[in-house]
Amino acid sequence: MRSYNLIRQFSLIFSCLLAVNFYSCKEQPRKAISKQEIASYPDTAFVQEIHDGFQISGNKGDNEVRSIVLDKASNVWIATASGIFRKGAESRSWEPIITGPGRGPAYSVVVNPDGAVVMGTWNGIYRYSQNQLHKEEGVKPPISIICNDGGGNYALGPNGIWHSKADGWEFLNYPIARTVRDAAIDSKGFLWVGTDVGLYRCQGGRSTLFQNTDELISCYLKAIAFDSRGDLWAGGMGGVSIRSGDHLIKSLTPNEGIPSTHVNCIRLSPDGLMWVGTNMGVVRFAANGTHSLRFSQRWLTDNKVLDIAFDIQGNAWLGTAHGVSEIKRTMMTLEDKKNNFYGQLMNRHIRDPWTCGFLKLDTPGDTASWHNSDDDNDGEYTGGYLAMESFRYAVTKDEDARIKARKAFDFLKYLQTVTGSEGFFARSIVPLDWPSVNDPNQTYTPQQVADELVKDPRFKPVEIRWRKSKDGKWLWKGDTSTDEMDGHMMSYFFYYELAANQEEKSLVRDHVKKIIDHLIETKYNLVDVDGLPTHWAIWSPEQINHDPDWASERSINSFELLAYLKLAKHLTGDEKYEKEYRRLIDTEGYLENVSHLNQKNPAWQIYFDRTLEGYLFPILVKCETDPKLKAFYEQLLEAWMANQPAGENLINNLMYAYATGKNVNVPQTIEFLRDTPLDLMDWPVDHTLREDVQIVRSPILEEVQVSELPPASIRATVRWDKNPWAAKQGNLRMVREPVFWLWPYWMARYQGIIK
């Protein structure tokens, strides 16, 4: 009776929880949760961006790209700190254009309507036309800015302004500051010049200065451009000032999405976006006010963007402080993207005997130096792969998916067989001849053990982490944890329900039975071959309910154990599992423990737990037959989902949808699938360098996070157990497996979200 009274109490708690605003909008903006019974999203083509980076040479000065432009033949021209270079349309190499004594710092390069390339350098102006280079006279160097008004060129520098005429260069005696940083011509023929003292409008020998704070954010300007409406964008220190005629109409600062208050360049793209290059990446503004950021090595050779140009296909070319970046645009459907990711997965991320995992790079950032690597969570992550293949089979009935799912199951099953135990399973296995493993065997001195025990009284000194298999072919890793068990049980459930044939269902039943019987025999602690429980895999009432050092795991571990027993009962039909399940609820208070799943103490919340909980909710909701207990789990699930209003975790969104039949956070799911980069390199991303977000301690108190959820395109490569709000992410020595994308894609297909 106690458990059923608790269910009624929880119903009241749940009603209250739905009315709670879980996060302060000022501190942590979130999109509202959305539950829909909606039609499928048609898989139409969208723009997929891809980054390609170029280094000009090993010389630092060559790679400081101050100006960039493309000619009519799609050759790329750049002005750098050490000269002018050109790259052919089909080439990756850069050739110097000015050689010998004339080579030196260059500042500006433009292409005229007639195809001539005009360059401003340390010693004057050069023109490249009809495959001939010649130096022009009539200006006083250096020339730092060149712009074209359709009929000729303006050349500007610290010694004045010149305009080109048929017979040479004419000096224009405009009284402006000598700190010329950028210039542009408007539709009326006015020359606008940005300087360290403000913005000048020049025409007919007269200049007007705008520099007050009601005219500009600040007078220190480095970038000028006109948008599609003819409004002038002036950027520099502080952000961007948008002006119409003589009036300031709007300012863009970090509050509006500028990632750095140091703006270096502004350009209008062919599709009408304004690209703003800053010291912390490039941000693109649309006319409707939306914006998107590209920064970090995922998108740029350096975060300091100094100039931007566009080719005839609309691809962006960015000159940075350390090379050139091309951000390519290609049209792609989600099905195209699925094919790309699946090819990468099969070609590189599946290793014998069908383990799914990441790649490790011998040289940081060099994807050609990859090799397969082991991970503590190889079992869990291969479980995600098994779930993915199971959903793929359920959608397509493709025998290839079922065969591969069986291979993944056989690997997970072998993790138990290889230990030679009655039910304990390994974290991972690797071939005996691997040159190295992560987290190798080690010994502890008494001093080290003492030190570890002070930090964690539950510490278990596992010196033999890797053991040789009896057949001498493998090394297997022990000390298996709760998250491994969660990943295994989740994947067995989906494999059994969606893909396994009758023979395979029998194998799943026997395998799960063996593991759960081992747990029952060891009083609900996963006991390693050393005869002792592992460090983390503890579910027994003795520890969970009565050891204060396990209080942080009380609710989630109780939740896990009930799910394991419910799955065993569902698969085998054996009442002994139901009997144990009920004993834990009625005698040991495990349902009461579970009722606190969504109200953990902030000190005990980790993002990983949310995903582990998501793994198991479908088992408890789908397999429970008692109406009152089922209602309890359904209400718990609703409160759990309401606690994730941003919908940032696609696995959790779709596990909820599978368990309830109600699609949730569909726009966020589709947006993530589209926005995810094709590049699986785990590029480091440091959001603490941005000025357009705040550093916060929410939603997870332990971690340093940013106040706005970064879109998929500017996160490190995703694993769903990682906190997407983390301020610092990524690992330059890793290439992640694309299951993180393929799994929710096939779940969304199964749920009918993607048509």
Q: Is it true that the peptide bond before 684 is cis, omega within 30 degrees of 0?
A: no
How far lies 708's CA from each of 26, 114, 152, 691, 725, in Å?
Answer: 10, 47, 46, 12, 7
Q: Residue 643 and residue 638: Cα distance in Å, rounded?
A: 9
Do 63 and 136 lie in one domain? The reply is yes
Residue 745 resides in a domain: no
What is the pLDDT at residue 46? 98
- 629: phi > 0 → left, psi -120 to 50 → alpha, else beta; which? alpha
DSSP H or E run through 230? none
CB neighbour list of residue 628: distance below 8 Å, 6 or more residues apart: 4, 7
Q: Is residue 697 situated within a structural domain?
A: no
Token pair of 113, please?
């309507």
Q: Within this chain, do residues 489 and 503 fall inside the same structural domain, yes or no?
A: yes
pLDDT at 503 over 90: yes
Alpha carbons 434 and 430: distance in angstroms, whole number: 7
Q: What is the Cα–Cα distance from 732 to 729, expressed in whole angstroms?
A: 10
Q: Which of 16-20, 226-230, 504-508 has the lowest mean pLDDT?
A: 16-20
pLDDT-derived band at 38, boundaries 50, 70, 90:
low
What does the DSSP assignment read for 673-731?
HHHS-S--B---EEGGG-SSS-EE--S-TTS-EESSPPPGGGSPSP-TTS-TTBSEE--
Whether residue 364 lies inside any domain: the answer is no
CATH number at residue 247: 2.130.10.10
CB 401 within 8 A of CB 752: no
Cβ neighbour number for residue 615 with a 10 Å cutoff: 29
First to last CA, the chain: 46
Q: Is position 5 within any domain?
A: yes
Q: What is the mean pLDDT of the chain?
A: 94
Q: H/E element holding 32? A: none
Give yes or no for residue 513 having a pLDDT over 50: yes
CA 626 to chain centre: 41
Final residue in a domain of this structure, among 591, 622, 643: 643
- Residues 524 and 555 grouped into a single domain: no
Residue 459 sits in the same domain as residue 607? no
Whole-number pLDDT of residue 99: 96
C-beta of residue 706 within 8 angstroms of C-beta of residue 749 = no
Under DSSP, is residue 588 helix (H, G, I), strand (E, B) or coil? coil
CB atoms within 10 A of CB 419: 21
The predicted model scores a pTM of 0.93
Same domain, 558 and 524: no
Is 50 exceeded by the pLDDT of residue 8? no
Is the same domain home to 119 and 200?
A: no
Residues 229 and 290 in one domain: yes
Rg of the chain over all Cα atoms, to the nearest angstrom: 31
User: 163-208, pLDDT tens digit by residue?
Assistant: 999 889 999 999 999 999 999 999 999 999 999 999 999 999 999 9
Quote the Cα angle for 506-512-746, to 5°: 80
**How many structural domains is the chain composed of?**
4
Taking CB atoms within 8 Å and a gap of at least 24, the contacts of 371-375 are: 372/348, 373/438, 374/428, 374/430, 374/434, 374/437, 374/438, 374/477, 375/428, 375/438
For residue 5, is pLDDT > 60?
no
* Token representation of residue 107: 């500042």
Residue 456 has pLDDT above 60, yes or no: yes
Across the range 454-461, mean pLDDT stands at 96
Let me know whether 382 and 520 are in one domain: yes
- Stretch 690-706: mean pLDDT, rounded? 96
Question: Do 290 and 318 share a domain, yes or no?
Answer: no
How large is the average pLDDT for residues 587-604?
97
Nearest residue to 103 (alpha-carbon basis) of 138, 133, 68: 133
pLDDT (tens digit per residue) in 532-591: 999 999 999 999 999 999 999 999 999 999 999 999 999 999 999 999 999 999 999 999
Give burial (CB, 10 Å; 0-12/13-18/19+) of 407.
Answer: middle
Residue that finishes a domain, picked among 538, 572, 591: 538
User: Is residue 244 domain-shared with residue 218, that is, in the same domain?
Assistant: yes
Q: Are residues 280 and 322 in the same domain?
A: no
- In sequence order, what are the beta bridge partners of 466? 477
Nearest by Cα to 250 from 208, 287, 207, 283: 287
Asked if 398 and 392 count as a contact pair (C-beta separation under 8 A), the reply is: yes
308 plus 167 within the same structural domain = yes
Q: Taking 60 as the threshold, does the pLDDT of residue 35 lie above it?
A: no
The answer to whether residue 699 sits within a structural domain is: no
**Looking at 515, 538, 561, which one is the last position of a domain?**
538
Residue 41 is assigned to a structural domain of this protein: no
Instruction: Decide if 338 is inside a domain.
Output: no
pLDDT tens sequence across 372-384: 999 999 999 999 9
The answer to the question of residue 702 being in a domain is no
Structure tokens at 546: 């009565």
Query: 32 pLDDT exceeds 60?
Result: no
User: Which residue carries 């011998």 as its tokens?
Assistant: 362
Distances (CA, A) of 499 to 158, 378, 620, 652: 72, 21, 20, 21
Q: Look up tokens 């630092």; give the residue.
A: 60
Comparing 22-26, 402-406, 491-495, 532-536, the range with the smallest average pLDDT is 22-26
Average pLDDT over residues 222-244: 98
- How large is the average pLDDT for residues 66-70? 98
Whole-number Å distance between alpha carbons of 567 and 617: 11
Mean pLDDT along residues 292-296? 98
Residue 239 lies in domain? 177-295
Distances 661 to 100, 431, 632, 657, 689 between C-alpha atoms, Å: 72, 43, 17, 5, 42
Indicate if the pLDDT at residue 6 is higher than 50: no
